[in-house]
Amino acid sequence: MMEERNNILKIPQEAPGELPSRSWEEEDEDENEPRNDAEEEEDVNDDDDDEDSSFGPPPPPPPLTPHPEDTLNYTIASDSLFYDEESPRKTDPPQVSPYSKDSEYNYDNDIDDDSVPPGAPAVDWEEDQSVEIPPTKVVKRWDKKETRRRMLLRQDKNYFAAKVIASVACCLIVLVIILTAGFGSGAFRKDEQSSAVAPPPTMPITIAPTVSPPAETPVAPSVDNNNSTVNRPSVLQDLLRSSSYNPDAFTDVQSAESLAANWLIVSDPLQLDPTKDQFRIQQRYALLTQYFAADGSWSNEEGWLTAEDECTWYGVQCAQDAGGTRNAVVAINFAVNNVGTITPDIAMLTNVTTLNLTGNPWEGGFPTAITNMPQLRSLDLENLGLTDDISSVDFSVFSNMEVLRLRGNFLQGTLNSFYSMINLVEVQASGGNNLTLAINSSIANLAKLQILNLNGCSITGGLVAELGALTALTTIDLGRAAPSNTVGLTGPIPASINQLTQLTTLDLSSNLLTGAIPDMTGVPLQILRLSNNNFGQAAIPDSIYTLTGLVDLNMANCKLIGSIGTGIGSLTSLRILALDANFLSGALPDAMDQLLQLQSLTLRLNMFETAIPASWTSLVNLQILDLQNSRITGPIPSTVGSMASLRELRLSENRITGAIPGSLTQLVLLEELELHTNALTGGIPFDIGSLVNLRILRLHDNTRAVIPGSGLVGQLPTSLGSLTNLLEFEIYDNFMSGPLPWEMGSLVKLQLLDVEFNLFTGLVPDSFAGLSSLQSFYLSGNNFTAGALLPESLCSIPNLDLVSDCDVTNSCSRCPS
């Protein structure tokens, strides 16, 4: 214990020549004293001068000075230096991280020996880290220098950034000045009529469509496309919403209206200015709503959704407006383009005068949007399958309408205010519609009317005398598909009809007209259809024979009496002549051989009681000759084969006698041959198989009791097997004999085969098993071999109507012996 006390070293006070000893508090006060920039700069320079001597490991710390009020004792033990906790002190040194250096480092080169107090104990600075060592002045200077260097570096960086920002700002200001001067002088303005190549469009900014409440009056503030201070999407959408006929649609982002507006805002390469190009924006928008309503399903969409002028888009036609300053859409032709509907905003195209939507798979019902287009002059809605009742459509709004086409629909209701369309030139509403219109004296308002076609509609009233005032009329078609006892025009045809000197078509068929047929001499008619009316057993007027331009004359079922006059030969342009279902009598005029253009001649259901003139066989263009049930007598002309164009020859239910002419087999185009219910004799021409286009062959019932010896005889020609297009063959009630030809098994299309009540013998050929299309087979009343088996395959044909003398079961049993 005494030895330890003897080792306690009492730290002496400052001695001459020693480093001054300062307390930690004093050094901290020096550090915290404010210093000006000059002093700081001088300090840095001093540091530079001492850099060589201060660089390297720091010297040992100066000797510690005891606090005036306390004595700090050191206890040396085990080569370590510890604080003696038993010696309390009022002030501890600041906590500074100790420096660790090599214990063998020679300090003589850096620090004078005078800096170390004499008699101080040797301390191993690397081994003993328990002593808190205050920083030296050298270290403090190094820290100050580093801090200053970092501060200057930050100032340099800030200065450089400021210079860059200033340079860029100057460049932008210059650029704005140049562009402003250029646009103001018109140097950069694009001439719309110029053919020069346009500069590349500004890339659009992707902005989601916004929906704003409807604006009462859109006020579009000035928009500078180069330095815009206005929200262009909002301005543009306000413009469209205020002019839209369906502004509520903008609340649905998937509506055609929203999609069209979004395309103009985001995707349109033109990026039109809503303050300068309002007309074009509205025009493009109205068209685009039609495109987006179809969901991109159009057959032809050439030019759409591009930077091209909307006037070049498929189906769009433009012209200069009334002022001659703008290229406006005047016609839209979407015919047969897979268009399913139109939007209300089509009415925004206020210059459109022609709208054609014909032939599309329509889904949207009658397009009521057109009622907002009073400027329309031509409206074509044909073949859309519309089924609406259009009684609510007020046609008085279409005072400019010239052409109205509604054919090929199933529209119903009344054509209200029809006579208000005073500029109407053509109206077409035939082909399935059942519209109601009363003909009255107001029809005189339609002084420009040329075509009046309401065929199939429910037309009421009568043909008023005012009809004769419509001298521009070329077509009057008020016919119906079938006669009705309650619906149709009533009364007589007015005599004023002969004032229509431009009239080429007059169709009044299937109405309730009465009275005499007026004199129409001088009317250039080409089509005259008066069928299915009741003209009170009047004769064919001689004036009819003066209409030499007639192509189609149909006066069937008109209660006509008398005979066909010889003047019929003057109608040399006739192609269709229909006088059937009347009470006509007398001879068939030879003069009809002058009708060399005639293609169809139907005179059935009359009372002629005369033979077919042989001269008629010169009608080489005749395709249909129908004289059924007209009391025709005598034979079939032997030269009938010269009528090479015949496709249908119907002479049944008359009193025709004689044999079937052999020349008939020269009619290779013949499809229907009906000679049944006559008094024919002889056999079937053996080469009848040359009529390869024949579908119907009816030769049955030629055994009329009133004419003894009548009836077809002989065997069926084997050439029948060549008639592979034959559907029906009826030969019943004759005296045919022999077996059924094996070759008939080739008639794979045959559906009806009736050979009943003849004298056929033998077996039903096994080849008949090939008649896979057969639906009815009648073979009873013949002399087939007793006990013969019918081909089993006949019984397996589904739903076959098989009638025979055999006890037919599902297994086709034998005929009784």
Which pLDDT band, with edges at 50, 70 and 90, does 800 fall under? Answer: confident
Tell me if 288 is assigned to some domain.
yes
Which of 336, 351, 386 terminates a domain? The answer is 386
* pLDDT beyond 70 at 34: no
Pairing of strands 648-650, 561-562: unpaired
For the chain, how many structural domains are there in total? 2
Are residues 44 and 151 in contact, defined by beta-carbon separation less than 8 angstroms?
Answer: no
Residues 6+ positions from 548 with CB-CB distance below 8 Å: 570, 571, 572, 573
Q: What pLDDT score does 481 carry? A: 82
| 59 confidence band (pLDDT: 50, 70, 90) | low
Predicted local confidence at residue 134, as pLDDT = 52
Residue 171 is predicted with a pLDDT of 78
Q: Is 658 left (phi over 0), alpha (psi -120 to 50) or beta?
A: left
Render pLDDT for 373-390 as a digit per residue (tens, 0 to 9): 999 999 999 999 999 999
pLDDT of residue 246: 94
How confident is the model at residue 288, as a pLDDT? Answer: 96
Among the three residues 360, 386, 412, which one is the final residue of a domain in this structure?
Answer: 386
Per-residue pLDDT, 60 = 54
Would residue 452 count as lying in a domain?
no
DSSP, collapsed to helix, strand or coil, labels residue 161 as: helix
- Please tell me the predicted confidence (pLDDT) of residue 537: 81
Q: How far apart are the C-alpha atoms of 208 and 262, rounded to whole Å?
A: 7
Main-chain phi, psi angles of 649, to 5 degrees = -125, 110
Q: Which of 320, 331, 434 is nearest to 375 (CA)?
A: 331
Q: Judge whether residue 128 has pLDDT over 80.
A: no
Q: Quick check: helix, strand or coil at residue 185?
A: helix
pLDDT for residue 463: 93
Owning domain of residue 738: 641-816
Distance, in Å, from the CA atom of 260 to the CA atom of 263, rounded to the nearest integer, reads 5
Residues 310 and 405: their CA atoms lie apart, in Å, by 27
- Is the pLDDT reported for residue 611 higher than 80? yes
Domain boundary among 338, 355, 386: 386
Based on the number of CB atoms within 10 Å of its own CB, is 807 exposed (0-12), middle (13-18) or buried (19 or more)? exposed
Residue 120 has pLDDT above 50, yes or no: no
CA–CA separation, 84 vs 220, rounded Å?
A: 88
Return d(Cα 49, Cα 155) in angstroms, integer: 24
Residue 6 has pLDDT above 80, yes or no: no
* Mean pLDDT score, 786-791: 71
Cα–Cα distance for residue pair 753/658, rounded to 1 Å = 25
Query: What whole-number percentage of the chain has pLDDT above 90?
Result: 60
Residues 6 or more apart in contact with residue 552 via CB below 8 angstroms: 526, 527, 528, 529, 574, 575, 576
Helix spans in 711-804 (H): 792-795
Burial class from Cβ neighbours inside 10 Å (0-12, 13-18, 19+) for residue 371 reads: middle
pLDDT at 107 (0 to 100)? 40
The answer on pLDDT for 228 being more than 60 is: no
Amino acid in position 802? L
Q: Which position has the higher pLDDT, 596 or 16?
A: 596
Angstrom distance (rounded) from CA 698 to CA 732 = 9
- What is the Cα–Cα distance from 110 to 74, expressed in whole angstroms? 27
pLDDT (mean) for 156-169: 72
Dihedral-angle region of residue 285 (phi above 0 means left; psi in -120 to 50 means alpha; beta otherwise): alpha
Mean pLDDT over 601-619 rounds to 96
- What are the helix (H) ranges across 244-394? 256-262, 278-293
Average the pLDDT over 89-112 and give the result: 42
Chain-centre distance for alpha carbon 193:
33
Q: Provide the pLDDT for residue 686.
A: 94
**DSSP line for 330-357:** EEEE-TTS------GGGGG-TT--EEE-
Q: In angstroms, rounded to a whole number, what is the distance separating the alpha carbons of residues 395 and 401?
A: 9
Residue 206 above 90 pLDDT? no
- Is residue 499 in a domain? no
Q: How far apart are CA 341 and CA 88, in angstroms?
A: 102
Distance CA 282, CA 375 (A): 18
The more confident residue out of 90 and 722 is 722
Mean pLDDT of the chain: 80
Residues 6+ apart with CB under 8 A from 278: 220, 239
Residue 458 and residue 487 in contact, taking contact as beta carbons nearer than 8 Å: yes
Query: CB count, 10 Å around CB of 801?
Result: 11
Contacts of 65 (CB under 8 A, 6+ apart): 11, 14, 21, 22, 23
Per residue in 651-671, pLDDT (tens digit) is 999 999 999 999 999 999 999
349, part of any domain? yes
Which one is predicted more confidently, 145 or 585? 585
Tokens of residue 480, six digits? 């119906």
Half-sphere exposure of 79 (CA within 13 A, CB side): 6
pLDDT of residue 507: 97
What pLDDT sits at residue 734? 95
- Taking a C-beta distance cutoff of 8 angstroms, is the pair 75, 84 a contact? yes
Tell me the CATH number at 278.
3.80.10.10
Residue 250 pLDDT exceeds 90:
yes
Q: Give the mean model confidence (pLDDT) for residues 806-810.
A: 42
Distance CA 528, CA 579 (A): 12
3-class DSSP state of 732: coil
d(CA 737, CA 115): 158
Query: What is the distance in angstroms between the CA of the first residue and the CA of the last residue of the chain?
Result: 161
CA dihedral 782, 788, 793, 798 (to 10 degrees): 50
Contact residues for 181 (Cβ-Cβ < 8 A; gap 6+): none
User: Which pLDDT belongs to residue 238?
Assistant: 93
Q: What 3 state SS string does 36-80 have? A: CHHHHHHHHHHHHHCHHHHCCCCCCCCCCCCCCCCCCCEEEECCE
Confidence of residue 70 (pLDDT cuts 50, 70, 90): very low
Over 70: is that where the pLDDT of 736 sits? Answer: yes
Q: How far apart are CA 41 and CA 48, in angstroms?
A: 11
Q: How many CB atoms lie within 10 A of CB 293?
A: 22
pLDDT greater than 60 at residue 53: no
The 10 Å CB-count burial string (b at 16+, else e) for 355-365 is bbbbbbebeee
**Alpha-carbon distance 742 to 762, whole Å?**
11
pLDDT confidence of residue 159: 64
> For position 264, what pLDDT does the model report?
96
Look at residue 443 and tell me if it is in a domain. Answer: no
- CB-based contact 345:367 (threshold 8 Å): no
Q: Does residue 95 carry a pLDDT above 70?
A: no
Q: Band of the pLDDT at 355, cuts 50, 70, 90?
A: very high
Angstrom distance (rounded) from CA 559 to CA 184 = 86
What CA–CA distance (Å, rounded) separates 725 from 692?
7
Q: Note the pLDDT of residue 182.
A: 53
180 within some domain: no
Banded pLDDT at 141 (limits 50, 70, 90)? low
Q: Is the pLDDT of residue 278 over 80?
A: yes
Bridge partners of residue 452, in order along the sequence: 427, 476
* pLDDT > 70? residue 181: no
DSSP 8-state secondary structure symbol assigned to residue 488? S
Please, what's the b/e burial string for 260-279 (b: 16 or more CB within 10 A of its CB; e: otherwise)? bbbbbbeebebbbbbbeebe
Look at residue 84 and tell me if it is in a domain.
no
Distance CA 224, CA 78 (A): 87
Element (H, E) at 382: none
Asked if the structure places residue 767 within a domain, the reply is: yes
Tell whether the model's pLDDT for residue 608 goes beyond 90. yes
φ and ψ at residue 109, rounded to 5 degrees: -75, -15
